[in-house]
Structure 1
Amino acid sequence: MRPAIALIHLDRLRDNFEIVTSHAGHANIISVVKSNAYGHGLHIIAPELHRIGCRNFAVTEASEGARLRDILGPDCDITLLSGLFDSHDAELCGTFRLSPVVTEQLHIQWLRDNRFNGSVWLKVDTGMQRLGTTELKSLHAASQASGIGIAGIMSHLACADTPEHPLNRSQADAFSHLCSELPSATAASLLNSAGLIALPDQTLDFVRPGLALYGAEPVIAEPLGLKPVMEFTAQVMQVRDIEAGTPVSYGATFTANKNMRIALICTGYADGLPVSLSNNGFAEHDGALLPIIGRVCMDYCLLDCTEHPLQTGQRVSFWGGDILKPEQVAARINTIPYTLMTGVSDRVHREVVTNPG
């Protein structure tokens, strides 16, 4: 097996879930496991969350929800955050007991045509200009007239990772107003991971953490003490000495300015190691940081191990170890940790690290 491996630390997942729960007050947790559990492996993450007591999950669309139902069985609720794309999705919702977000009358029609008798979430836009209905009352009435239950009302924050942004409070106020248009017993959900920090008074009935579960701090300036669940690692394939003046990798973008020892690592951009880390990133080994030198290749990258000798067969970590956190690596290349996690390709083996708990 090619030794580019994403280690999945389930003990860290459990710790993160406990931290999120402690910040949610009396609200229920909807664990967001879309996009293959943010690249960690739906078949790994969801059963562990279920085992420790989570009974509410969210994915993007119906086929993903059907897969999750097959994994977890009947003892949980599954929300589709992107709702329905066609009538077949509505059919899947009935077959697999999924609760879609609805934003259009057409969604209700599809559900009615497929004799759906479950519940839906009414999603409203409160300032992000993304997915959400502008006809809440009529959508609620159409749902009830069709015999469709209302799981609740939800919206999504645009600037929660910037707690001081005025749009956060503006959206909360707009959401509160919209909630007042529905029966008082209607469940409400506004907060994602960063929202727990930005608007701690708005936990309401359900919160929807995603990023925090996987251990990336949603607001770097206000850390919650989370631990990365994924540790992206790869093995040393070869070590060699080069002389000063030797160019390295494609394009000769790096030239040794002294005699050096370099290590060839068996991971590259086809595995999810960003090209933008070329001459701009590090790997971690035994408490030391080793610079990535030259251009990251499809299947390989190269490290400067002059000051910290490596040997063939040793494993290095690119994020999720003791030093390199995903949000720090992401900031270095002007992206977000979501892209690192979800960018780890299928050819990278997910290896579960189990610790008692």
Structure 2
Amino acid sequence: MVTDAGQGVLTVDLDAVVANWRDLSARHGAPCAGVLKADGYGLGAAPVGRALHAAGCRTFFVAHLIEGMALRDALGAGPAIIVLNGFAPGADGQAGLWPVLNSLGDVEAHATAGRADGLPRPALLHLDTGMSRLGLDAGEQAALAADRARLAGLDLHFVMTHLACADYPTHPLNARQAQRFAAAAAAIAPGVKRSFANSSGIFLGPDYASDLARPGCALYGINPTPGAANPMRQVVVLEVPVLQVREIPAGDTVGYGAGYTAPRNVRVATVAAGYADGYLRGLSGRSLALFQGRAVPLIGRVSMDLTTFDATDFPELRPGCRLMLVGGPGNTPDDIAARCDTIGYEVLTSLGHRYQRRYIGGV
């Protein structure tokens, strides 16, 4: 077996994922699905999905058909796997996936296929209520409400919409979307179950409850209540070994563009992780790692495969020691995102595949 002394280790706490799912389900007061798109937000859809399924989760969402087929292989025939971006009738073969119908054209295609062979097609109907992205727009909704016979040939499991501003609790669009969704769902598909809240929507209160919530980021420890304390357990730790430590005199520079000039004699620790591994270039000069619980400042630019840190105050830090790039106090994905004007979602989904992934807990 070939080992790489410079390979970072990404540890995913599956027990924390499951605990987050249980907490979200309890808060919502109804079952929660597990959103596993983008390979489980970069953490591994198959192991995360198996842990959630073992804990009782029976509905999963992915973005693309290929993600759904891979998840079906990992989970077997039991759970519902729903493809948010939809797919053409029959494209899933025998995988037993459910499409989200995002337009009147999608409705017609799947309904026609269901009527043609007498096998109603299982699906979800997506109503756009303010995101202006996917989903039937107001005109399509009105047309479908006026002629519900167009749904013949479909086995609708849920009607859904997606909140645009749930992480801003006082934003007026939240209430408008709730009102629009309630009215449109009643007009188009009375009696069909509804799916409404995302991670942040679960925390908006009972007006945003439905038959099935769809948490994604909160499962993985991202704060669904920005501006307040994070109610979720942390899931991810990324540790990378130090390749080399060198001493440079005051006045020497570090990295591309000579972006850092040493104000004193400095010990520079170099680790094998860079923007090719999802350690974002925007963190250059703005972030830190943890060593034995203490902050080690990032100096110079993050490059493709290497990043440098100021180890001057850590005489015990040597090649082979590990720096924690993600995880620990003040260094969560949300903390890291704030340093380079992005969101924790991007931090997680950017994590590269050169890290060894290690899963703890679960089954």
Q: Is TM more than 0.5 here? A: yes
Which residue identity is paired with 1:230?
V
Higher deviation after alignment, 292-301 or 127-136? 127-136
Q: What is the aligned counterpart of 1:18 among 18, 22, 28?
A: 22
Q: Distance in 2 between matches of 1:110 and 1:160?
A: 32
Q: What is the aligned counterpart of 2:331 among 324, 339, 353?
A: 324
Secondary structure (helix, strand or coil) at the match of 2:181 reads: helix
Q: CA offsets per residue over residues 274-297 of structure 1, 9 Å max, x none?
A: 111111111112110111100111
Name the structure 2 match of 1:353.
360
Within 5 Å, which residues of 2 pair with 1:277-288?
A: 277-288=283-294
Name the structure 2 match of 1:92.
91
Higher deviation after alignment, 262-271 or 8-17? 8-17
Q: CA offsets per residue over residues 261-317 of structure 1, 9 Å max, x none?
A: 121111011000011111111111211011110011111100001113312112111
Per-residue deviation, 1:334: 0.5
Report how many aligned residue pairs link the two structures: 350
Q: Distance in 1 between matches of 2:310 and 2:274?
A: 16
Secondary structure (helix, strand or coil) at the match of 1:289 reads: strand
Name the structure 2 match of 1:160.
166
Q: Decide whether the 8 Å contact of 1:292 with 1:303 is kept in 2.
A: yes
Name the structure 1 match of 2:344.
337
- Structure 1 stretches of 5 or more lacking a match? none
Q: CA offsets per residue over residues 178-232 of structure 1, 9 Å max, x none?
A: 1221444211111100111234432111100000000011222233521222222
Instruction: Specify whether residues 254 and 261 from structure 1 end up closer, same or farther in structure 2 by C-alpha distance, changes over 3 A only.
Output: same
Q: CA offsets per residue over residues 4-61 of structure 1, 9 Å max, x none?
A: 2211111211221122122111x22111000000000112111111111100100012
Q: Decide whether the 8 Å contact of 1:212 with 1:226 is kept in 2.
A: yes
Q: Distance in 2 between matches of 1:316 and 1:343?
A: 19
Name the structure 1 match of 2:104.
105
Q: Distance in 1 between matches of 2:233 and 2:252?
A: 39
Instruction: Specify whether residues 68 and 143 from structure 1 end up closer, same or farther in structure 2 by C-alpha distance, changes over 3 A only.
Output: farther
Per-residue deviation, 1:105: 3.4
Within 5 Å, which residues of 2 pair with 1:1-357?
A: 1=4, 2-25=6-29, 27-84=30-87, 87=88, 90-93=89-92, 95-111=94-110, 112-113=112-113, 117-134=120-137, 135-136=140-141, 138-139=143-144, 141=148, 144-145=151-152, 147-309=153-315, 310-354=317-361
Q: Distance in 2 between matches of 1:305 and 1:143?
A: 67
Q: Decide whether the 8 Å contact of 2:202 with 2:209 is kept in 1.
A: yes
- Structure 2 stretches of 5 or more lacking a match? none
Instruction: Specify whether residues 317 and 71 from structure 1 end up closer, same or farther in structure 2 by C-alpha distance, changes over 3 A only.
Output: same
Higher deviation after alignment, 159-168 or 232-241? 232-241
Instruction: Specify whether residues 167 and 108 from structure 1 end up closer, same or farther in structure 2 by C-alpha distance, changes over 3 A only.
Output: closer
TM-score, reference length from structure 1 = 0.92
Secondary structure (helix, strand or coil) at the match of 1:283 reads: strand
Q: Distance in 1 between matches of 2:74 and 2:223?
A: 28
Which residue identity is paired with 1:251?
G
Q: Decide whether the 8 Å contact of 1:162 with 1:198 is kept in 2.
A: no
Which residue identity is paired with 1:329?
I
Q: Decide whether the 8 Å contact of 2:144 with 2:188 is kept in 1.
A: no
Q: Decide whether the 8 Å contact of 2:108 with 2:150 is kept in 1.
A: no
Q: Percent identity?
A: 36
Q: Decide whether the 8 Å contact of 1:290 with 1:305 is kept in 2.
A: yes
**Root mean square deviation, CA, Å:** 1.9
Per-residue deviation, 1:139: 4.6
Which residue identity is paired with 2:290?
E
